[in-house]
Every structure is written in structure tokens, then in C-alpha cells.
Structure 1
């Protein structure tokens, strides 16, 4: 008989926690919130800037402050969940996410909003790694495959839905809150999530708790900050000296992190990112593929929001709703993913990349032909095809990455995966976003958009090539 734990029960060594339907819904809700909030501000930034009299560099910090603290602390959040209990960290992270969302919504000026957003990212880093770790530890076999498929579908849908929801909320101006509603909406959702989590999420933790790797944590944080901070802030700040010094320091910080982790592993201690974990073929190759996919995904979402509002003159609602075909196609096709993988294996990911490439090419052609009259109707064919292709990649890819990770290291594995994804999402906004904005003054909005979409198309070609090296089948244990 399987017993589901709460904070008031004690699990014997023989008891296996089980994640039921309500518990799965609850942790997926916790997974959706941070991803929605990464993208929800894209269409709200013009309104935030006007209301708080914020300059472009400060508005960049509203986005990057969240992304940086989120990415830097994710692996640590996964390790602490393994150590002290994933359910407790999930509850604590969700409560903190609600409080910091309230602080964002009530921020009286731009700098306090930046601080609140950084704190919100830290709360997300405590909550999100526990989702995948709980799924890994409290499910198995086909139930785990289904849960991972739903997690991947939730992740992809949340990124698109966040931008749509942001536009709707800003335009609705609920009770005169304007842009603040994009943050305040989290508060009642978090309250519901806490009630459900207390009832339905089982407690899991590593059977052999591993202490926090202090040097590794610091060096990982330094490495990520050295790379992401200048890339996200450099263009808006005019590329001052500190950005170049930071980029020059990145390879040394990354090498120092690897050296410390390898030494800890050889000495029998447990590093923050165990090299033995990276030795897993499915995890290593999946992470390599996740990077260009996520860069292209987030870069596109940022660029299309700017192009539709500043170039095509659409309001926040039409700009957000223009992506509805992508969201709907992603949702419908992602439901078919597990069945297709069962029949065709991981070649479904390759097919998804090819389909996405067709969709992006159609959107580039629509932008070139229809500009400046570019809206939902013109983007519909390309957006729907691209969404279908993305749905055949992301959910399956996340499942591949964690397929061979032992349950005892579920928190570490999920932390590494989500850190890679989040860092790549931030890189997408920084690289493709900076490319687009730098091209606009000289080439015009239409040519800048088309050029950026063609660069994304090259990135998709890379993901297709890399997908051919994935294991043909997905391990289940």
C-alpha cells in the first residue's frame, strides 16, 4: 500500500510517496507561475515605463533582474529541496512568490520594482526545482512519462500564455491597476496553490541528503552573472567598460567552477553539479539541444512583442492575441507527443524542429510582405505551424534530459536542467533582442524583424542537426 506524506507524517524507509492527480495539478501550477512571469512583462513594459517614468536601462533591469536571480539560484534551490524536503521548499517558495508578486504590484517607483522582481526570481528558484524533483521521486514508468509530458506542455504553453495574458490584463485595467495587475494576479493563484499543496503534494527528499556546496554555489553564481549581466544590460547601457570586463572574466569563472566541482567529486564530496551527472548521455545531449531552442523561443517572444507594438502600432491586447494560434497549436499537439514518441522514438524531436522552421519562415515572409499591417491574421499560419513544431520538441526534450537521472538526485538534475533553460531564455532576449533593436535605426522595423527571424531560423537548423544525436528511445525507471 502506498502512503502519501504530509508534513505531519513520518515516512518509514519502505514507504514510497505517490503523486496523485490533484498533486500533479498543483505542482504544474507552481511550474507555470515563474515561466508566465518571465514573459508577462514583455507587453507591459511600455506602460510601466510611462507610469513610473523609467528609462530603457531600468526597464531592462525589470526583466533581467528577475531572470538573473532566478537562473543563479535554481541549482541551489534544487539542492536545498533534496536536503530539507521538497514539499516544504515548494510551499515556502510559492508563499514567497506570492509576497514578492504583491510587492511588484505595489511598487511606487521603478527601482523598487527592480528589487521586487529580483526577489520574485529568487522565490521562483526555490519553488520550481521542487516540481520536477517531486515528479521524478513520486512517479514511475508510464505515470512519470505522462507527468513529464504534461510538465513540458505546461512550460511551453506558459511562455506563450504569459505574453497573451500580459496584454489582456494591461488593457483591462482592472480597478484602475493598469500594468500592476500582471503581478497582482499571482496573489490569489498562489493562495489557491498553497491550499492545494498542503493537501495533495507528498513530501520527498533524498535518502542520502548532501550538504550545500558553498564554493561551487558561489562560483556558479559568479559565472552566470559574468555572462548574463553584460549581455542583458550592455546594449541599453551603451556597452560601458564593465560589460567587457565581465565578459572577459566569464571563461575564467566558468573554468574555476568546473575545477572546483571536479576536485570535490574526486575527493568523495558531493559538488553542486556532479560531473557524473553530466556523464549521462541523455542529459548531456539534451542540455546541448535545449540551449539553442530556448534562445530562439525567448528571443522571438521579445522581438515580436516590440515589433507589433512599436512598429505595427498594435495595442497590448492585439499584440498578445496575435500569438494565440501558437498557444493553441502547442497545446493540442503536445497532447499527442507521448503517443508519437512511443511509436517513433526521439525522431519526433527532429520532425518538430523541421516543422518549426517552416512556421518561422512563414512568419518572416508575412512580415516582409504585409508590413506594417502585421497582425494576428497575417501571422496565423506561421504561428500555428511554429507552435506545433515547438510542441514536438520541448515536452519531449525535457523528458529526455531527466530520463536517466536517479530519483535520489532528482533535485540536482532538475536544477541543472532549469538553470540551463532559464539562462538560455535570458540569452535569447539579450542576443536576438539586442540584434533586432540595433538593426531598427538603420534598416527599419520590417527588415530588422525579418533579419532576426532568419537568424532564429539558423538556430532551428542547429537544433535539428543536434537532435540527430539524441538517444533513439527514452529510458524509463
Structure 2
């Protein structure tokens, strides 16, 4: 999930023409499209599986392929924008996102859809990093503060729209196309965005652009694929030789990634994930909270989408309604979290995680006690608590991680954080999503599998709360 996103762009920017209100709306549309797409796809997964006659493992790849491509290429996209022009890369990314959305919408097979989703994630990685860069380069003072506030709220609003729009489009079954409009709707929106963006978005670039870490990008891609692909497909395919071979490759790829990152930094370069930044206490401790949080969050969204539709047969629109309290609460917390952090500091994270933990326990109890006689309103208390807690914790963790990163490397730090976030979300779907699919097909059934996976997330949350109590205060 793509949830709150922090693009990877250096703080050094050149002054340029001002960004008008219409131009701001246009770049925020570019930020919203990939985020809405993430939540729409979660709602549509059961319909995709039924239509393409594919397994839960392949459905996990529909989600994970997007996340892997996005995670690997995010920093690259930001640095290309700094070097060649942010408006230019925004237009290229939006064009590619529109085209790959069309490919997803007409995909004839599950494999084609997975490949198209990977390409769509790569397109998002070109477009999304430019949004905050353009805002920073083309606004100042109070106008910049308001624009950044709107940018942050875009994530929460995208979650709300994604749930409702996804459910409504799949349920409508327009012209018998089933799930396909969830992707095809991006095409006319993208075309309009391109026409408007060419006129309203000013060009800017960095005076001192940072080069692309090619070896680091390659090693990170190999490491993620060699870990996530076999974890998703191995249990379903009874661990064929190629899945074992990929897992053997993973530690070597991970070690190679660490080596090339350290070597590049020693030589004065700026690697994809700088080891010196990773060693900063605020970053290290923030990631110890953020990574397990995002693993649980992505698994939560995946498991809920399948349970509500395949287990309780609520349909896509009913599933969207079930998740509405979570989305609305998350959006509300995004708007007020900064004020709470100003007053209470890092304690907001532990408080938010505690509220989420309570929500998870309420959801487990609700499912165990009432299954299968569950409707939309039965989930509302647990989902509301989860949304409140997630909104508080997620936005504050981002703030803490970046609080001690110097302005000169602010873009590097934000890119590192978002790369870690996307990799963790892909890992959550590949691991806990696979566990859910395997357990649901066994004696536990979907009811037991849901309780098991959400219970694991609850245990993770308890551990994360412990770590969160030691987070540095972002106000200092």
C-alpha cells in the first residue's frame, strides 16, 4: 500500500515558476491514481481470481508485482526527475501508468495481468516521486505548507475512494466486463491529466542531481524477487526446484546489495539505501517499528478482501462498505496527527498501535463469535479502531524517521523509507497472505485462517508497541 508515500527527491531545488491551484490539483491527481489503484485492486481480487481461474498465490503476485517494481524503482524515478526535469518525468510516468492500466484492463490471462501490474508499478515509480518535488520547487511559505498538507491528506482520501470505487465498479459489472473497469477507469482520467499537466505544471530540476545507483538497484531487485516469488508460489506448487533455487539465491543477492551500498558510500557516492542513514537512531528505530507495521498492514488488506467476498459472500460493494470506517478514520487521523505529535511527541505512535491492537482483537472476536452471520455493521467497531490507530501510527512513524535527517539528504532519506515500506508490504502479502491461503484450504477453514493471520498481526503489534516506546522525540 501504497498508503502515505514520501517521494525520493533531494532537498536541493531550483526556483521556478509558481504552481497554480489548478496545477496543484493536477499533480495531486498524479499522486492519488497509484494509491487509489492499490486499494481498488484489493477489493477486486476475488473477482479477478474467479474470472481468470487462478489461485490465491497468483492473486498475491498481482499485488506483490506492483509493490516490488515500485519499491525497486522509486528512488531511480526521483533521481531521474532531478536530473532531467520533474515535469518531464511526471508526464512520462503518467503516460506509462495510463498505458499499463489499459494493459491490465485487457489482460487475457493471470500471467499477463501480473506482468502488466509490474509494469504499472514501474510507471508509478516514475510519476509519484515528482509530485512532492514539484510542490517543493514551485511553492513557498504558507502556500507550500498548505500544499504539503493536501499532499498528506491525499493518501487517506485515496484509501476512501479506492474502497468505494473498487466495490462499486466490480459490483456494477459494466457491459459484462466484471473487474476490468477498475483498471480501465484510469485511462480517460490519465489522458485528461496529461492534457492539463502539459499546460499547468512548471518545469524544474536539481542544480546538483544525484546519480543512479545501478548496481544497488539490480541487487535489490534480485533480492526481492528471489525472496518474494518463491514464498508466494512455493507452498501452492509444492516447492518445485526453481523455488528452492531462488531462495538459495536470496542471501547472496542480499549480501551483494549490502556490499555495493557500502562500497559506493565509501567512495563518496549516494547509494540507493545509504548505510550511514540506516545507522541513524531515528531511522533505525523508526524502521524497526515501520517494517513490521507495513508487513501486517498489507496482509490485513489482502486477507480482509478475500474473507469478506469468498468467505462471507458480501460481494465487492459490501466489502467496500465494510472497510469504509477504517478508511474514513485513517483519513481523519492523517489530518490531526501533526497536532497530536506537537503536543505528545513519539508517544502518539505507541498510542496509535495500542488502538490498532484493540481493533484487531475486536475483529478476531467478532469473526469467531458470529461467523458466518456477519454483515457490514458487525465489522464497524473493529474497523473504526484499526483505522484510528493505523492513521496515528503510520503518519507519525514517517515523521520520526525523517526528523533527524539533514536537509541536504532529505530526499535520500525519504526515498529509503518509502522503498522499505513498499518492500515490507510486498513481503506481507507474500508471507501472511500465503499462510492465509494455505490455512484456509485446510481444516481451519477461512474462519480459522482469518483468526490466525489477524492474530499474528496482533502479536506483531504487541512487539512493535514495545519498540515504539523507545522512539526518539521528533520535537527535539
Structure 1 residue 362 displacement after superposition: 0.9
Distance 2:100 2:46 in 1: 22
| Higher deviation after alignment, 219-228 or 243-252 | 243-252
- In the other structure, the counterpart of 1:299 is 299
Task: Count residues in correspondence.
Answer: 464
Q: Please tell me whether the aligned partners of residues 78 and 130 of structure 2 are also in contact (alpha carbons under 8 angstroms).
A: yes
SS in structure 1 of the partner of residue 180 of structure 2: helix
Distance 1:234 1:159 in 2: 31
SS in structure 2 of the partner of residue 372 of structure 1: coil
- In the other structure, the counterpart of 1:416 is 416
Distance 1:287 1:136 in 2: 25
Which residues of 2 match residues 257-296 of structure 1 at below 5 A? 257-296=257-296
- In the other structure, the counterpart of 2:45 is 45
RMSD: 2.7
- In the other structure, the counterpart of 2:87 is 87
Distance 1:443 1:456 in 2: 18
Structure 1 residue 316 displacement after superposition: 1.4
| Higher deviation after alignment, 139-148 or 189-198 | 139-148
Structure 1 residue 456 displacement after superposition: 0.8
Q: Please tell me whether the aligned partners of residues 14 and 207 of structure 2 are also in contact (alpha carbons under 8 angstroms).
A: no
- In the other structure, the counterpart of 1:189 is 189
Q: Please tell me whether the aligned partners of residues 345 and 473 of structure 2 are also in contact (alpha carbons under 8 angstroms).
A: yes
| Higher deviation after alignment, 292-301 or 12-21 | 12-21
Structure 1 residue 19 displacement after superposition: 5.3
- In the other structure, the counterpart of 2:449 is 448
Distance 2:119 2:448 in 1: 38
| Higher deviation after alignment, 199-208 or 209-218 | 199-208
Task: Give deviations 1:280-308, integer Å, cap 9, x for gaps.
Answer: 44333323322111111111111111111
Scaled by the length of structure 2, what TM-score is found? 0.88
Structure 1 residue 383 displacement after superposition: 0.5
| Higher deviation after alignment, 423-432 or 192-201 | 192-201
Which residues of 2 match residues 283-432 of structure 1 at below 5 A? 283-406=283-406, 409-432=409-432
Distance 1:240 1:146 in 2: 53
Structure 1 residue 160 displacement after superposition: 5.7
Q: Please tell me whether the aligned partners of residues 220 and 254 of structure 1 are also in contact (alpha carbons under 8 angstroms).
A: yes
SS in structure 1 of the partner of residue 443 of structure 2: helix
- In the other structure, the counterpart of 1:5 is none
| Higher deviation after alignment, 211-220 or 197-206 | 197-206
Structure 1 residue 230 displacement after superposition: 1.7
Task: Give deviations 1:427-448, integer Å, cap 9, x for gaps.
Answer: 1112221222222212122222
Structure 1 residue 93 displacement after superposition: 0.6
Structure 1 residue 457 displacement after superposition: 0.8
Shift in CA distance, 414/445, structure 1 to aligned 2, threshold 3 Å: same
Q: Please tell me whether the aligned partners of residues 359 and 385 of structure 1 are also in contact (alpha carbons under 8 angstroms).
A: yes
Distance 2:67 2:409 in 1: 25
| Higher deviation after alignment, 100-109 or 145-154 | 145-154
Scaled by the length of structure 1, what TM-score is found? 0.88
Distance 1:163 1:144 in 2: 29
Shift in CA distance, 343/138, structure 1 to aligned 2, threshold 3 Å: farther
Structure 1 residue 48 displacement after superposition: 2.5
Q: Which runs of 5+ in 2 are unaligned?
A: 1-11
Distance 2:14 2:43 in 1: 50
Residue 471 of structure 2 corresponds to residue 470 of structure 1? yes
Distance 1:142 1:474 in 2: 20
Task: Give deviations 1:338-397, integer Å, cap 9, x for gaps.
Answer: 221222222212211111111111111111111001221111011111111111122222
- In the other structure, the counterpart of 1:75 is 75
Q: Please tell me whether the aligned partners of residues 14 and 137 of structure 2 are also in contact (alpha carbons under 8 angstroms).
A: no
- In the other structure, the counterpart of 1:252 is 252
Structure 1 residue 470 displacement after superposition: 2.4
- In the other structure, the counterpart of 1:33 is 33
Structure 1 residue 326 displacement after superposition: 0.9
Structure 1 residue 154 displacement after superposition: 3.0
| Higher deviation after alignment, 302-311 or 32-41 | 32-41
Distance 1:228 1:141 in 2: 43
